[in-house]
Amino acid sequence: MTKEAAISAQGEQARAAESDPLHQVLEVLERGERFLVCSHARPDGDAVGSMLALGMVLEQMGKKADLVTADRVPVLYRRLPGVEKIRSAERVRGPYDAAILLECDSVERARLEGLEDLFLINIDHHISGRPYAQLNWIDCDAASVGELVYRVAGAAGVTLTPQMAACLYTTILTDTGSFSYGALSARTFALARELVLAGADPIALARDVYYSVPASKVVLLGAALNNLRRQGRLAWLWITLEDMARAQAVEEDCEGIVNFALSIAGVEAAVFLRELPDGQVRLSLRSKGKVNVAAIAGKLGGGGHENAAGCTLAGPLARAQEQILAELRPAVAGP
Ligand SMILES: [Mn+2]
């Protein structure tokens, strides 16, 4: 390569780096002073862990960060370091240099009023991710949004603390179902290794998430398993409002119940249906193998990942069940 060609190649590389979404995000973070960090309503492990880690990154960068979600942090994630900094609110009020929305495929997913007027940064890894913000970074190959936050930390040159590592490890642990699905690759394990080296305790974190379940959740699971049905490659189960009341359960106790239907040998797609107080029905869809439940959820007004998605349908429960089974039957059909 001639000297001129080398210089021009370097220039192109530099321009590519400037225009890549990670560096665009970093530039906004470096320029600003006060940020709002949010995630979706009913936050999961990735939402909570990536919010906390990004808050720590910003703090190390000398910035101020407010962490806000519409719903409170589920019990399972309340042992994460710094969790007391997450505030639950219905409305946010500036001034902020930018609001960073983690894992939201629309502004509405955050269910926070006041976001519309802010400069929005959208960081997501869902197939259903859309470029609705001023700055969008959607990477479907990332196992969790936490993985993207890890890259922000690296690009910003901040030190990976044990606290940050614990939060990021939890995002991967939960979004891959303990390293068993999602955008799982050798890179995921390399990152997990980095995080353990940085001080994340994989045994303690797994114990907090999987072996500290509230009794109400186990009782609710019993009710759901009583309602388990199977038809060939399809399995589904449901919870009524009465089941919820009897178990003295809260919404977050429903998390993960769908996986018990999916775990059956020979089942390729599973649905968990839950009656909502307003008469609608919330559906969690899961698949193993080739069934793309994100496409089915998308058709019904929802979204998610290829193997894990959700949507909300009009009630009653029996009608929502028929509607989703009618969509899933052809999807699981085949030789
Ligand atoms: Mn996620």
So what's the pLDDT on residue 215? 95
Look up the pTM and report it. 0.83
Q: Tell me how far the alpha carbon of residue 191 lies from the centroid of ligand 1, in angstroms.
A: 16
- The environment of the single-atom ion ligand 1, i.e. residues with CB closer than 5 A, is 46, 103, 144, 175
Q: How buried is 305 (Cβ within 10 angstroms: 0-12 exposed, 13-18 middle, 19+ buried)? A: buried
- What residues have CB less than 8 Å from 171, skipping those under 6 apart? 45, 46, 49, 50, 53, 144, 145, 146, 147, 149
CATH number of 215-332: 3.10.310.30
So what's the pLDDT on residue 28? 97
So what's the pLDDT on residue 15? 56
Q: What is the pLDDT along the chain (335 residues), one digit of tens a residue?
A: 555 566 566 656 555 555 799 999 999 999 999 999 999 998 999 999 999 999 999 999 999 999 999 999 998 999 999 999 999 999 999 899 999 999 999 999 999 999 999 999 999 998 888 999 999 999 999 999 999 999 999 999 999 999 999 999 999 999 998 998 889 999 999 999 999 999 999 999 999 999 989 999 999 999 999 999 999 999 999 999 999 999 999 988 998 899 999 999 999 999 999 999 999 999 999 999 889 999 999 999 999 888 899 999 999 999 999 999 999 999 999 76
Q: How are beta strands 98-102 and 269-275 bridged, if at all? A: unpaired
Q: Tell me how far the alpha carbon of residue 209 lies from the centroid of ligand 1, in angstroms.
A: 16
Per DSSP, the three-state class of 177 is coil
Asked whether 32 and 101 are in contact (CB, 8 A), the reply is no
Task: Quote the longest CA-to-CA distance of the chain.
Answer: 76
The CA-atom distances, in angstroms, between 310 and each of 132, 226, 234, 241, 273 are: 20, 22, 16, 19, 10
Domain boundaries defined on the chain: 3-209, 215-332
Per DSSP, the three-state class of 318 is helix
Q: Tell me how far the alpha carbon of residue 104 lies from the centroid of ligand 1, in angstroms.
A: 9
Residue ranges with strand state E in 130-242: 135-138, 229-231, 234-239
For residues 37 and 133, give the distance between their C-alpha atoms in angstroms, rounded to a whole number: 14
CATH architecture, domain 3-209:
Alpha-Beta Complex (3.90)
Q: Tell me how far the alpha carbon of residue 45 lies from the centroid of ligand 1, in angstroms.
A: 8
First-residue to last-residue Cα distance in the chain: 54
- What residues have CB less than 8 Å from 243, skipping those under 6 apart? 220, 223, 224, 227, 249
Q: Tell me how far the alpha carbon of residue 139 lies from the centroid of ligand 1, in angstroms.
A: 11
Q: Tell me how far the alpha carbon of residue 145 lies from the centroid of ligand 1, in angstroms.
A: 5
So what's the pLDDT on residue 305? 83
